[in-house]
Amino acid sequence: KVDALNIGLAAARHDIVMVTDADTELVPGVLKNVVRYFSDPCVGAAGPWILPQSQEGLVPSMEMSFWIANNKMRTLESRISSSSLIAGCYLFRRSVQRYYPPNVVADDFYTALNVSSKGYDVIYVPQVMGSELRTPHDFRTWVSHKLRKGVANLQTIFMFRKSFKAGNKRSFIYY
């Protein structure tokens, strides 16, 4: 995916770039609603709430609960200082995020940490503007999905380990 993102970044002609996951379906007007946050020059990235496609069953309900809790936490983080994650769909300033290293797996998490490490805010827009279409249906798939995401996020944290400093408002261990 990072190869495609880098090709897109090289071709981009405007400062605000939008990235979506292939399995994310957006509501009309998402670009207009999120891009307005960039009128603040301190904002380097922003993304809306994304929820999994609503389905019946225990595992889809668990996934929905996880996303709702995550969305609330990220919204609160961005009110305090800067969100540590944007997912499914996000916009960022190309002047702040010019490329993705080849070993990046969690591009959304990488972007949030990279933008924040450069002193910009990452805003989690408190409005549902899309849904993730590939929601795990069974427990085995759900666990596999969470493990894959967890490993990718740990890899990303390791890439930014020097940015994590006690007392640094943007280090995500400030709280």
**In 3D, which of 107, 104, 101, 102 has the Cα closest to residue 86?**
107
Quick one: tokens of 122?
Answer: 């990452």
Confidence class for position 173, pLDDT limits 50, 70, 90: very low
Please provide the DSSP assignment of 89-142 as one string: EEEEETTT-----TT-S-HHHHHHHHHHHTT-EEEEEEEEEEEES----SHHHH
Taking only the tens place, the pLDDT of each residue in 53-110 is: 877 888 888 888 888 888 888 888 888 777 777 788 999 999 999 999 999 999 999 9
pLDDT at 147: 92
Query: What does pLDDT average to over the chain?
Result: 86
Quick one: tokens of 81?
Answer: 């200082």
Angle, helices 139-159 vs 58-80, to 10°: value is 20
| pTM of the predicted model as reported, rounded to 2 decimal places | 0.87
